A and B are shown apart, each in its own frame.
Chain A
Amino acid sequence: GDSVTQMEGPVTLSEEAFLTINCTYTATGYPSLFWYVQYPGEGLQLLLKATKADDKGSNKGFEATYRKETTSFHLEKGSVQVSDSAVYFCALSDQGGNDYKLSFGAGTTVTVRA
């Protein structure tokens, strides 16, 4: 079945550093791809998404591009802040009539130090 593999953490960075979290997927067709973020004590929040190949999702300085040829959706941010400390989840949706089903990676914990 469809699955997502993302970079293992934890990742520790200094403020203003560049962040990349790798995410690759396995799917039989062309799913939609998502990044969710979970801040301490809160639920997962949608950070960005892309619904077709070569789409770029962006939000709050984060970007990810849907790469069909490499089946990847890597998350990047050019200059992180302490407030970006969180757990980041890559996810894909099932296709067709079942696209409410999300499949998630294991999550990557990111800590940004001042």
Chain B
Amino acid sequence: NAGVMQNPRHLVRRRGQEARLRCSPMKGHSHVYWYRQLPEEGLKFMVYLQKENIIDESGMPKERFSAEFPKEGPSILRIQQVVRGDSAAYFCASSLGQSSYNEQFFGPGTRLTVL
């Protein structure tokens, strides 16, 4: 059973460009979470999605960031008009169900560098 897949693993963008990060959850998982790790910091929760629904986006910056998890295909984290402060590692996780009793399985992350 393949684990959580993220691509690309490394992404370089110039200021003002758009970044699209993809996450394919484990087979059978319908709950997806995105976390961001800024340099020298821990992972911070950004958003929680189920198929076609955003459940909790309380950790998402108000502007330029959006996330979706369509009925078909991977979850996408989109960052518009990137700035240098967006440089970070973005991790996706998936689980069978909600709550901490359902283990979150993490992907290897996407390292975004904004020049």
Are B99 and A104 in contact, with the CB atoms below 8 A?
Answer: no
Are B108 and A102 in contact, with the CB atoms below 8 A?
Answer: no
Stretch at the interface among A39-47, A60-68, A71-79: A39-47
A28 at the interface (CB under 8 A from B): no
Are B107 and A101 in contact, with the CB atoms below 8 A?
Answer: no
Our count of residue pairs bridging A and B at CB distance below 8 angstroms stands at 66
Stretch at the interface among B12-20, B43-51, B69-77, B79-87: B43-51
Residues in B with CB closer than 8 Å to A35 are none
Per-residue CB contact flags for chain B residues 33-44 toward chain A (1 = under 8 Å, else 0) read: 101010011111
A4 at the interface (CB under 8 A from B): yes
Q: Which bucket holds chain B's interface residue count?
A: 20 to 34
Residues in B with CB closer than 8 Å to A102 are 35, 43, 45, 100, 104
Are B42 and A107 in contact, with the CB atoms below 8 A?
Answer: yes
Q: What's the minimum C-beta distance from B86 to chain A, rounded to whole angstroms?
A: 19
Taking A99-B100, A100-B48, A102-B104 as contacts, is the C-beta distance between A44 and B91 under 8 angstroms? yes
Task: Enumerate chain B interface residues (CB-CB to A < 8 A).
Answer: 3-4, 6, 31, 33, 35, 37, 40-45, 48, 56, 59, 91, 93, 95, 98-100, 102-109
